[in-house]
Each structure stands twice: as structure tokens, then as C-alpha cells.
Amino acid sequence: MADLRVIDMCCGAGNLACAVAIHVSQSRVWASDLTDCCIEWTGRNVAHLQLGHRVTVGQGDLFAGLERFGLDGSIGLIVCNPPYISTGRLDTERAGLLALEPREAFDGGPYGLSIHQRVFADSPRFLRAGGWLMMEFGVGQHRQVKILADRAKRFSDTEFVSDASGAPRVLITRFQG
């Protein structure tokens, strides 16, 4: 695999960005998140693992954090673990999650898919033809995520990866260009 260019969108602490950089030696990774604490932790992890020559960290609202790097049409893979819990659930049964983490880490909007919608809309600018998009989502959201992929009309070969209990949790789809 020659020179794989990767974006880790909604990078959190940079786990995916660092894992890709470690396990795919030909990769160059750009990681982005909205919150200061996530960017700080990603930077720490990149430095600790001595990956600064292959992992670049940007901050902004989704892809806005990466605009200055000139990545348009060059990315072979976008990985994304966006917030996917609905606002209503965060205000009730999942409120405990907010005790130690910022709301932005979990709040996926009214149905938990607001960020997913934006990633489908904005990722074509960055993906090269034949590039891949991989996104995590919550239990029971796979049908809605598939609808979002189909509505985008620029993705194909859509598949799901299930978790250990058999529930679909990750979408993999190819950008047609």
C-alpha cells in the first residue's frame, strides 16, 4: 500500500490516527476535532508515540480544521467516530456520560446522526475517487446511516462491521468520485 493519506475526523484523543500511523507504515494521517481538550490529548499521544512526522493535528468544526493543509481530492481513507447519542438521551438516561467529558464528545443532535449527515456531505471534497469512508454509529442506527449513504449518491460498496454482540456498528463505503 503506497502512500495512504488518511483523515481521522472527530479524532478524540487520537487513538485511530495513532493506530493507523503505527500499523500502516506508508500512511500519512491528519487528525481533527472541535474541542481543545481533544486536540491537546491527540497532540500528547502523537508526541508520546513519536509520530509527529506522520500525524498532523488540526482543530475546527469537522473538516474546517483541515482546510489549510491542501488535502482536497487526495485522501484514500477517512475514519470517523463521531458523537452519535441523541440530545434527548444525553439529557436523561445517558446524562452520566457528561460528568467527565464535554457534551460535544457525545451529542449527535436530535436523532444522533447530525454529524454523520455532515460527514457524508463534506467528505467528497477530500476523498479521491475510490477512497473509503468508515464511520462508527450507535446500536440500532445502521438503517438510518445506510439511508444517509444512499442519499449522498456518491458512495457504493457499502458494508457494515458488527461488534462482538453482532450489532452493526461501523459503516464502510467507497467514494465514487
Per-residue pLDDT of the chain (177 residues), as tens digits, is: 458 999 999 999 999 999 999 999 999 999 999 999 999 999 999 999 999 999 999 999 999 999 999 999 999 999 999 976 666 776 776 677 667 676 676 655 667 788 999 999 999 999 999 999 999 998 899 999 999 999 999 999 999 999 999 999 999 999 998
Q: Helix or strand or coil: residue 116?
A: helix
What's the pTM value of the predicted model, to 2 decimals? 0.91
Domain that holds residue 37: 1-71
* Co-location of 164 and 105 in the same domain: yes
> What's the CATH code of the domain at 33?
3.40.50.150
* Co-location of 66 and 126 in the same domain: no
Instruction: Give me the number of domains the chain comprises.
Output: 2
**Which one of 37, 71, 105 terminates a domain?**
71
Q: Give strand pairing partners of 4.
A: 27
What are the counts of helices (DSSP H) followed by strands (DSSP E) for the chain?
A: 5, 7
CA dist 9 and 28 (Å) reads 14
Is residue 66 a contact partner of residue 7, using CB atoms and an 8 Å limit? yes
Is residue 80 a contact partner of residue 133, using CB atoms and an 8 Å limit? yes
* Co-location of 27 and 58 in the same domain: yes
* Co-location of 92 and 137 in the same domain: yes
Query: How, if at all, do strands 75-80 and 27-33 pair?
Result: unpaired
Phi, psi of 9, deg, nearest 5: -90, 140
Let me know the angle formed at the C-alpha of 122 by 118 and 126, rounded to the nearest 5 degrees.
Answer: 145
